Structure 1
Amino acid sequence: MTAPTLPARVRIHEVGPRDGLQNESTVIPVEVKAEFIRRLVDAGLDTVEATSFVHPKWVPQLADAEELFPQVRELPARLPVLVPNERGLARALDLGARRVAVFASVTESFARANLNRTVAESLAMFAPVVARANAEGLAVRGYLSMCFGDPWEGEVPVSQVVEVAVRLRELGCGELSLGDTIGVATPGRVAEVLTALNAAGLPTDGLAVHFHDTYGQALANTLAALQHGVTTVDASAGGLGGCPFARSATGNLATEDLLWMLRGLGIETGVDLDRLVATSRWLADRLGRPSPSRTVTALSHKES
Structure 2
Amino acid sequence: MNEALKELLDLLDLEQIELDIFRGRSPEERIQRVFGGQVAAQALVAAGRTVPDDRHVHSLHAYFIRPGDPAIPIVYNVERVRDGRSFATRRVVAIQHGKAIFTMSASFHVPEEGWAHQAAAMPTVPDPETLPTFQDKLYDLVGDEPGWKDWLSRPRPVDARYASPLTFEASRNPELISAETNVWFRYDAELPDDPLLHVVLAAYASDFTLVDTILLAHGLSWGTSNVMGASLDHAMWFHRPFRSDDWLLYAQESPWSGGARGLARGQMFTSSGDLVVSVVQEAMIREIKSQNPR
Given the two structures, how large is their TM-score scaled by the length of structure 1?
Answer: 0.26
Q: Which has the higher helix share?
A: 1
User: Which has the larger Rg?
Assistant: 2
